[in-house]
Amino acid sequence: MEPKLEVLVYVEEISNRHQYIFDLVLRGILEVEYSFITNKNDFINSTNPKITYAKEAFCTSIFCASTGFLKEREVRQVPLDFIAFDDYQIFFPIKHEASLLPFDFFSAAFYLLTRYEEYLPFEADEHGRFPGKKSVAYRGGFIDKPVINQWAWLLKERLQEQYPALDLQGARSYSFVPTYDIDIAYSYRGKGFLRNCGGLLNDAKRLQFEQMKERLSVLNGQSQDPYDNYEYFHDWQKTYQLHPLYFFPMGKPSKFDRNLSVKTTAVRSLIESVASYSMVGLHPSYASNEQKHLLKEEKISLESILGEEIYRSRQHYIKLRFPETYRALLEAGIKKEYSMGYPDMVGFRASIATSFYFYDLKKEKQEALRIYPFAVMDVSLNDYMRLSPEKAIAVCGGIIKAVKEVDGLFISIWHNQNVSERDNWKGWRNVYEEVLLLALPDEAH
């Protein structure tokens, strides 16, 4: 078997930023090997497939014009001049007719992927989070598109056209990972005598007699807890051969952490049961964002229940601060992270539907933390965006379609209590089921 052709990429000088974004686009998305070259004569004389990434084109290679942004080694307020492209607005424009795209897409991809704008001063929400509506992706009209994957595919098409001998038939295909945040394991179970007595008193004061009846029925073992939807999730997993992830909180209950104590038998048994048929990760507490020692303690607590190392996590309330949160996770031994998405809207926070490594802009280096972006969360659809069940299904369908078109990764977040058909979540069990069916690979139907 002949070795696969390697793509040569000409750059004037090689920086960590160059290495990071070309690794992602060429190796990560297109699954093609490449190497950098800085000698013009060697590059011109090579018979390999070639990409020129520079200010000017100088040979018959594919030309991707550069603005020079990837040569920088600092975080600064970058002036973003937007131009129309496709049906949205994008930045780093290029005035060069020979360029593959009318903007420096490697620089734009780097800016979006590293969350460059979140290292700059911004107006945070009440939880200290970066709002989706403040993002360049939202302002440019492409927050619902995995544009980095789409740009990579445009490059792939040009490579195939100009270098037909280049093997671009990678093994990558569309994949779907349903995930569940178990913020509150049970509505009534596991709360203990005093908390349930207090709950009954509150129900009585509010004249919520049906809830009183439900609580007593669950506690007497006559009916199932309304938040106990684990068998329901598991049935979907078995039917469609899914590989879901469950994230459990281990912190102490507080104003923003309404989870049950992990010391209760009900919670510990639930975690052990779920871990017997699915992957489990840590849901770090709200307070752990400010107190790093809590993160390590919570990770150890989950590991002690399961008797194995835990290396997956997703932040409670999707609280991310760059680079502090990811640095703390790395220090705690987390290797795979699932918080890359917005709480206030659906879409692509990093403009990509592929997992990627964290690049620490303050250190100017790639770190060993793999980030798995999610695109849809139930709370975003209902509580923040205020969508009807029908509209939510349609919006999710559009996002899923965009991910499938680029053989990307689609990750959804659902909460166990939000398929209980209670209060403002009536009709949302059907949303969950419809979105799951839409998200299945086409061959699974």
Among 317, 433, 313, smallest CA distance to 384 is for 317
202: its two tokens:
């509150």
pTM for this predicted structure: 0.93
Segment (H or E) for 337: strand 336-337
Three-state DSSP at 334 gives coil
Return d(Cα 235, Cα 226) in angstroms, integer.
17
Return d(Cα 424, Cα 185) in angstroms, integer.
19
* 411-437 pLDDT, tens digit each: 999 999 999 998 899 999 999 999 999
* 115-161 pLDDT, tens digit each: 999 999 999 999 999 999 999 999 999 999 999 999 999 999 999 99
pLDDT computed for residue 191 by the predictor: 61
Stretch 293-315: mean pLDDT, rounded?
Answer: 96
Among 444, 431, 374, 380, smallest CA distance to 403 is for 374
377: its two tokens:
């969360």
Q: Which residues pair with 148 in a beta bridge?
A: none
Size of the chain, expressed as the number of residues it contains: 445
The one-character DSSP state at 183 is S
Among 184, 319, 199, smallest CA distance to 258 is for 184
**What are the chain's domains?**
7-162 (no CATH), 175-187+225-444 (3.20.20.370)
Asked if residue 325 has pLDDT above 60, the reply is: yes
Return d(Cα 430, Cα 445) in angstroms, integer.
18
Contact call for residues 247 and 281 (beta carbons, < 8 A): yes
Return d(Cα 443, Cα 432) in angstroms, integer.
20
Return d(Cα 398, Cα 259) in angstroms, integer.
33
Residues 6+ apart with CB under 8 A from 437: 445
Distance of CA 246 to the CA centre of its chain: 15
Residue 383, φ and ψ in degrees, nearest 5: -75, -40
Return d(Cα 435, Cα 443) in angstroms, integer.
16
* 86-101 pLDDT, tens digit each: 999 999 999 888 999 9
- Would you tell me how many other CB atoms lie within 10 Å of the CB of residue 140? 22
Work out the mean pLDDT of the chain and round it to a whole number.
Answer: 92
Among 175, 172, 135, smallest CA distance to 156 is for 172
* 180-237 pLDDT, tens digit each: 999 999 887 766 545 555 555 565 556 565 665 665 666 666 678 889 999 999 999 9
Return d(Cα 369, Cα 326) in angstroms, integer.
8
Distances (CA, A) of 96 to 64, 104, 156: 9, 10, 20
